[in-house]
Amino acid sequence: MTPQPQPFRLAVPDAAIADLKARLALTRLPDQAPGEAWAFGTDVGYLQGLLHHWQHGFDWRAEEARLNAFPQFTVPLHGIDLHYLHVPGVGPDPTPLLLMHGWPGSVFEFLDIIPRLTDPARFGGDPADAFTVVAPSLPGYGLSFRPGQPRFSIEAVADCLAHLMTGVLGYPRFGAQGGDWGGFTASRLGVAHPEKLLGIHLNLLSLKPDQPPPANPTPEEARYAEDVAIWLKEETGYQWIQGTRPQTLAFGLSDSPAGLAAWIVEKFRAWSDCDGDVEAAHPRDRLLANIALYWFTGCIGASFWPYYARAHGSWPIPEGRTVDVPMGYAAFPKEIRRPPRSIAEQTYTDIRRWTPMAKGGHFAAMEQPEALAGEIAAFFRSLREATP
C-alpha cells in the first residue's frame, strides 16, 4: 500500500517557547580567549548580543508563519515520519524538483528561493521555467525527526527521497538540487537511481577531499590541493567530533540553546560570503529561525549521523563509480571547497553547465536566491529543450 501523506502545520507549544526563554536567561558564557575575535571559534560578544535578541526580540511565531505559508506534509516512510514542502508550479508544464538542504541548515533555507522556482513569472521570468518543488526536511533533521527513530546515512537518505518522489508523489522522473549533504544526496541519487532523474544541479560537489592530485597538476589544480590541505587542517574539527562522538556532543547542544547557537552560527559566518559579518549575509532573525528549529525539534544529535556514517562507512559514490546523469554546477566564490572543472570531471561525466557565480557562499539559497534560482532554471531549461 502506498503511504498516504498528511497535511502538516507547525505549531510549537507556548510552553516550549517559555522554556527556551528561561534557559536563555540562565546562560553562563565562557570568557573570551585573547587575540582576534572569532579566531578560536564563536566570538563571545557577538553571541551575547544574538542570545539577547533571541530572548527578548526574536518573534518565533512570525518565522513559523513564514514556513506555514507553504503547503507541508508528512508521510510514514522508511521507518520515520518524513516532513516535506510540496509547492505546485505556476506554468504550462512545471518540472518536479527535489530541493535538499544540508547541515546545519533546514527547510528555512528555501523560503526565499521557492517562489522564484515555482512562479518565475512573478519575478519577471518565463512561466515555462516553473518547477513544482518538493523540499524535504532531511531524515533526522528538523521536522523529520522524532526521538528514538532510525538514523540515516546519505545512501539511506537518497533511497528514502527517491521513494518519496516516485512511489509516494508519483513523479516517474524528476530533477534534484542541493548543496552540502543535499548535494551529496543528489549525487548519490545519480548513482543509485539514475533512471528516475532528469538531471542534478549542485552548489557543492561530492568529491573526496583526500583524493590524490593529478601527477602533473595545472596551476588551478595545485591551488585547489593547497586549499583542501588548509581546509582539512583548520576547518574540519566539527566533522571529527560529529563523526566519532555524536552522542556526547548532542548532550551539550540539546541542553543549552547558547551552545547550540554558538555551534551553528560559527558555520554560517565561516562558510558564507559575508567578509566576517555574518548578518551581512543572513539577517539575525533568519539565523535564529534555523537555529530555533533545531532547538524546538531536538534533532541536533540525529543531524550529525551522516558524518558518523561517512566516517565509518564508504563514500556515497562507490569506488570506481561515476555520476553519469546530466549535471549543472553553480560555483559560488566562498563555497567551502571550490574544485576546478578538471577535477570534477573525474567524478561527474556529463557536466552540461558550469557557472562561476559573482557572489555567494555555502548557503547559496539563502545568500543569493535570485542568482541560484536563475542557474537552476537555465540548467533544466536545456534539458527540457532536449527532451522530444
Concerning whether 324 is annotated as a catalytic residue, the answer is: no
Choosing from 43, 119, 129, 180, which is the catalytic residue? 180
The stretches of 26-172 forming alpha helices (DSSP H) are 44-56, 60-68, 113-118, 154-162
Q: How far apart are CA 177 and CA 127, in angstroms?
A: 19
Taking a C-beta distance cutoff of 8 angstroms, is the pair 136, 106 a contact? no
Choosing from 19, 238, 308, 350, which is the catalytic residue? 308
Concerning whether 238 is annotated as a catalytic residue, the answer is: no
Taking a C-beta distance cutoff of 8 angstroms, is the pair 283, 66 a contact? no
Largest CA distance in the chain: 64
Residue 111, CA distances (Å) to 91, 107, 347 in order: 19, 7, 31
Concerning whether 201 is annotated as a catalytic residue, the answer is: no
Taking a C-beta distance cutoff of 8 angstroms, is the pair 205, 347 a contact? yes
Q: How far apart are CA 50 and CA 284, in angstroms?
A: 8
**Cis check: omega of the bond before 34, within 30 degrees of 0:** no
Q: What are the DSSP calls for 133-172, one per residue?
A: EEEEPPTTSGGG--TTPPP--HHHHHHHHHIIIIIIS--S
Which are the catalytic amino acids? 180, 308, 362
